[in-house]
A = this chain, B = another copy of it.
Amino acid sequence: MDFTLALSCPDRPGIVAAVSAALLACGADIADAQQYGDRETGAFFMRVAFRATGPEAELRAALAETAEAFALSYTLRDDHPRRVLILASRFDHCLADLLYRWRIGELWMDIAGVISNHAIETYANLDLRDVPFHHLPVTKDTKAQQEARVLEIVAETGTDLVVLARYMQVLSDDMSRALEGRCINIHHSFLPGFKGAKPYHQAHARGVKLIGATAHYVTADLDEGPIIEQDVARADHSKTVEDLTAMGRDTESQVLARAVKWHSEHRVLLNGHKTVIFK
C-alpha cells in the first residue's frame, strides 16, 4: 500500500537517518522524499512517499517511537482520496473548476459535499447531480447556528479539507480555529494591495498591470493565513472592471486548484506563519 508521511520537528542531527531506518525496518520503499531545514527557525520538515510491504500496525508503532525520540509532529496517510467539502456563494467559477478537475481525475479527492448560502438554483450552469448539496442561508443573527451546522457536516462526512471557493462569508474566529490547517481560502491579490470593498474597481482605478490571486490557509486573522500559492495575469489599459474581474476568475480558479491539489497530496507543511511546499 502507498503512504505519505509528512513531519516537522526541531532540527537536530539524525532525523533523516532515524525516520528512514524506521521505514526500512517496516519494508518501506521510498518513491519520493524531501527534507528542508529552516536555519532561521530551527525547524526541520520532511515528506516521504513510500510503498509499504509490511503490516500497517508495525509501521505506525515504529513511527510513534521515532516521533517520541525526535519530537516529531507528523501525519501518516494512506492513498485514499481526501474528502473535500466545498463552500460557495454566488460566484461559482472556482466551484465549477474544482468539479471539472475532480470529474476528470486530476484532483485526488472525493467531494464530501457543497454548502452554499444560496439556493441550488444559483448553480444552473453547473452539474451537481451526484454531489450532496446543502443550502445553508446565513444572516448576522443565524451565523453561529449556520457555522455549527457546517461543522456538523464536516464531522458527519469525515471531511479532511474545507475549501472556501469564493465563499463570501467571513468565518468567525471560533470557526477559523476549529478548521485550522484544513481550510483553504482564495482571494484576489494586487500589487500594491487594496483594502476594503470592490477590489477590482480599486485595481482598475489604480491602473494596475497585474491581477493576482492568493490561496492560503484560513486563520482567525482574515486573509492573513499562511500562503500556499499565488499567481498573476497581465492586464493593460483597455481592460474594464469587467475584464479585470474575468481575468481574476481564471487566476483564482487555477491558484485555488493548485493549492487544493498540493494539500490533498500532503505537500504543504506549516512552518509557523509560512508554508513549506514539497512539489
Report which A residues bind B (CB closer than 8 A). 11-17, 20-21, 23-24, 27-39, 44, 93, 96, 100, 103-104, 106, 125-127, 189-193, 205-210, 212, 214, 223, 226-232, 236-238, 246, 249-250, 254, 271, 273-277, 279
Contacts and interface: CB of A to CB of B under 8 A. Distances in A.
Contacts of A205: 273-274
Contacts of A11: 29
Given A30-B37, A191-B212, A207 B274 contact: yes
A96 to B, nearest CB: 6
Contact of A30 (B13, B21, B250, B273): B13
B29 A39 contact: no
Contacts of A274: 205-207, 237
Q: How many copies of this chain are found per oligomer?
A: 4
A122 B20 CA distance: 46
Contact of A236 (B12, B212, B279): B279
A100 B126 CA distance: 9
A231 B210 contact: yes
Contacts of A250: 254
A196 B196 CA distance: 20
24 contacts: A14-B24, A15-B30, A16-B20, A16-B30, A17-B17, A17-B20, A32-B37, A34-B34, A38-B237, A93-B104, A106-B246, A192-B193, A192-B223, A205-B274, A207-B273, A207-B274, A208-B227, A210-B230, A212-B232, A236-B277, A237-B271, A237-B274, A237-B277, A238-B279
